[in-house]
């Protein structure tokens, strides 16, 4: 026996050295990955700066091109007028009539003033009705519906002055995004909203709110709602909640995400009344990440769609507690087998006993098992000694090359046999151990 014990000591010492080496390699790998991540972040920042500079150059080039085209068109028009005057003057001269001299200097001066006016935008403002619209009011309404009217340049400058960023590139991206929010191109507006969402700048919210009220594009609306959620400012909740009843499912999903980021639990409950299964299922997923959403998950567990009920059962299993266990017992008798299995997974963890097989029983036997489980004492929050016991059981199984049986664990773990069995079953319910026959293994 002494020799056997000595061999085991030697084995465990070797195993300990092996695990120490593995830990050292894992730490080295983690350090390398952190360095790679840092380099990637720096590269991403540099690329963002280059992108912002390139976009600024493209915008400037487009403006210069438009101004040049307008000047060329004005020059063509004046040339035609001059040629017409010259031809008319020649006809009159050939007819023997006196002709008033043409003032070419005045004509060139007029032409130059019109070009300067076009460059400054005065000619466009002087036009009472833009091309393609009957009146200026019609043009204004059309531009507003396209999301092209919003804050003024002065407002934009105030927002830029109020924003504070650590780097100049972020300040440049912010200013560029504010300008592109009023662009005529939906892709440019969406790109601007995505940049503002990444920056997470609260000073941009007035501009985002103005764009949100006038936006018609579904993709841009989703991007603007993401900005509202990323800003973490509760004052924009009314704007977000108004989009929960939008005609587009994608917009409603984006509004639901933003409202959830803004810690609005009421929006999750309202979303469970939505006609679209995707919206109700997403509400159940978002509720699963909160500790105060048991009422929402219980309601989702009674939804008409099985996928929503399944997500709700998984969420209740993650919450734990007596209230969640009661709802899971009800879900264990669901008509859909996937919902029953999700409930059985949560109950296995709660009761410390395997109840997976109950989900696949016939209805009569399943209900008898549910009544039996209902009579068991409901679980309390796991104390620290239980977690220590689970860690000890997990370590014993991990160290064994051929797994561990219940008898092996009861002999090697210094605790009551019943508690060791409960810890092993709980680890199986958590997915940290798997049971194959009589032995437990690390997955």
Q: Residues 322-346: pLDDT tens digits? A: 778 888 888 888 889 888 888 888 7
Question: Model confidence at 75, in pLDDT bands (50, 70, 90)?
Answer: confident
* 298 and 375 co-located in one domain: yes
* 399 and 359 co-located in one domain: no
CA 408, CA 186: separation in Å to the nearest integer?
66
User: For residue 250, is pLDDT > 90?
Assistant: yes
Number of domains in the chain: 2
Considering only residues 100 and 406, tell me which one the structure prediction assigns the higher pLDDT: 406
Residue 63 lies in a domain: no
User: For residue 162, is pLDDT > 70?
Assistant: no
Angle subtended at Cα 54 by Cα 49 and Cα 56, rounded to the nearest 5 degrees:
95
CA 265, CA 259: separation in Å to the nearest integer?
8
Query: Which CATH number belongs to the domain containing residue 372 in this structure?
Result: 1.25.10.10
Residue 156 lies in a domain: no
**Where among 336, 359, 381 does a domain terminate?**
381
* 329 and 401 co-located in one domain: no
pLDDT at 87: 66
Residue 25 lies in a domain: no
pLDDT at 305: 93
* 355 and 303 co-located in one domain: yes
For residue 364, with 0-12 CB atoms within 10 Å meaning exposed, 13-18 middle and 19 or more buried, which class applies? Answer: exposed
pLDDT at 276: 92
pLDDT at 252: 92
* φ, ψ at 404 (rounded to 5°): -135, 140
Query: Which CATH number belongs to the domain containing residue 423 in this structure?
Result: 1.10.10.10
* 406 and 338 co-located in one domain: no
Name the 3-class secondary structure at 144: helix
Structure tokens, 125: 């403002």
* 325 and 366 co-located in one domain: yes
* 338 and 410 co-located in one domain: no
User: For residue 99, is pLDDT > 50?
Assistant: no
User: For residue 240, is pLDDT > 80?
Assistant: yes
CA 191, CA 173: separation in Å to the nearest integer?
11
Name the 3-class secondary structure at 34: helix
User: For residue 257, is pLDDT > 50?
Assistant: yes
* % pLDDT > 70, the chain: 76
Closest CA to 286 of 305, 307, 265: 265
Residue 306 lies in a domain: yes
Section 374-403 average pLDDT: 70
Domain ranges, residue 413:
384-441
* 308 and 339 co-located in one domain: yes
**Where among 381, 398, 420 does a domain terminate?**
381
Mean pLDDT score of the chain, rounded to an integer? 76
* 377 and 389 co-located in one domain: no
Do β-strands 404-405 and 439-441 pair in parallel, antiparallel, or remain unpaired? antiparallel
């Amino acid at each position: 026996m002494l020799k056997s014990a000595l061999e085991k000591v030697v084995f465990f010492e070797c195993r300990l050295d092996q695990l120490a080496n593995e830990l050292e390699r894992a730490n080295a790998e983690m350090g390398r990955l952190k360095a790679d991540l840092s380099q990637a972040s720096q590269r991403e920042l540099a690329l963002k700066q280059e992108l912002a500079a390139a976009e600024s150059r493209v915008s400037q080039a487009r403006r210069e091109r438009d101004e040049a085209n307008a000047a060329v068109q004005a020059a063509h028009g004046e040339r035609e007028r001059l040629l017409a005057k010259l031809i008319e003057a020649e006809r009159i001269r050939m007819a023997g009539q006196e002709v008033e001299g043409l003032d070419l200097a005045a004509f060139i001066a007029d032409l130059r003033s019109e070009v300067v006016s076009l460059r400054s935008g005065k000619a466009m403002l002087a036009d009472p009705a833009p091309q393609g619209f009957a009146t200026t009011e019609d043009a204004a309404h059309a531009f507003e519906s396209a999301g092209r009217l919003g804050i003024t340049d002065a407002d934009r400058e105030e927002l830029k002055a109020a924003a504070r960023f650590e780097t100049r590139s972020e300040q440049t991206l912010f200013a560029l995004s504010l300008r592109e929010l009023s662009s005529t191109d939906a892709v440019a507006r969406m790109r601007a909203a995505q940049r503002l969402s990444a920056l997470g700048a609260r000073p941009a919210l007035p501009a985002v709110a103005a764009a949100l009220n006038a936006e018609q594009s579904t993709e841009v609306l989703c991007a603007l709602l993401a900005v509202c959620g990323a800003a973490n400012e509760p004052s924009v909740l009314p704007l977000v909640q108004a989009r929960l009843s939008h005609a587009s499912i994608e917009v409603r999903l984006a509004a639901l995400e933003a409202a959830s980021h803004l810690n609005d639990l009421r929006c999750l409950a309202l979303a469970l009344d939505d006609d679209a299964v995707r919206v109700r299922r997403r509400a159940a997923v978002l509720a699963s990440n909160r500790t105060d959403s048991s009422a929402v998950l219980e309601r989702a567990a009674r939804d008409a769609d099985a996928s929503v009920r399944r997500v709700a059962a998984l969420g209740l299993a993650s919450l734990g507690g007596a209230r969640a266990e009661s709802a899971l017992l009800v879900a264990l008798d669901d008509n859909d087998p996937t919902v029953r299995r999700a409930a059985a997974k949560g109950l296995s963890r709660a009761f410390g006993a395997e109840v997976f097989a109950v989900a696949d029983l016939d209805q009569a036997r399943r209900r008898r098992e549910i009544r039996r489980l209902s009579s068991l004492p409901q679980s309390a929050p796991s104390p620290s000694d239980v977690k220590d016991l689970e860690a000890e059981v997990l370590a014993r199984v991990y160290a064994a090359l051929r797994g561990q049986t219940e008898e092996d664990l009861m002999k090697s773990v210094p605790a009551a046999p019943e508690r060791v069995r409960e810890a092993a079953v709980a680890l199986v319910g958590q997915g940290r151990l798997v049971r194959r026959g009589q032995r437990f293994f690390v997955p």
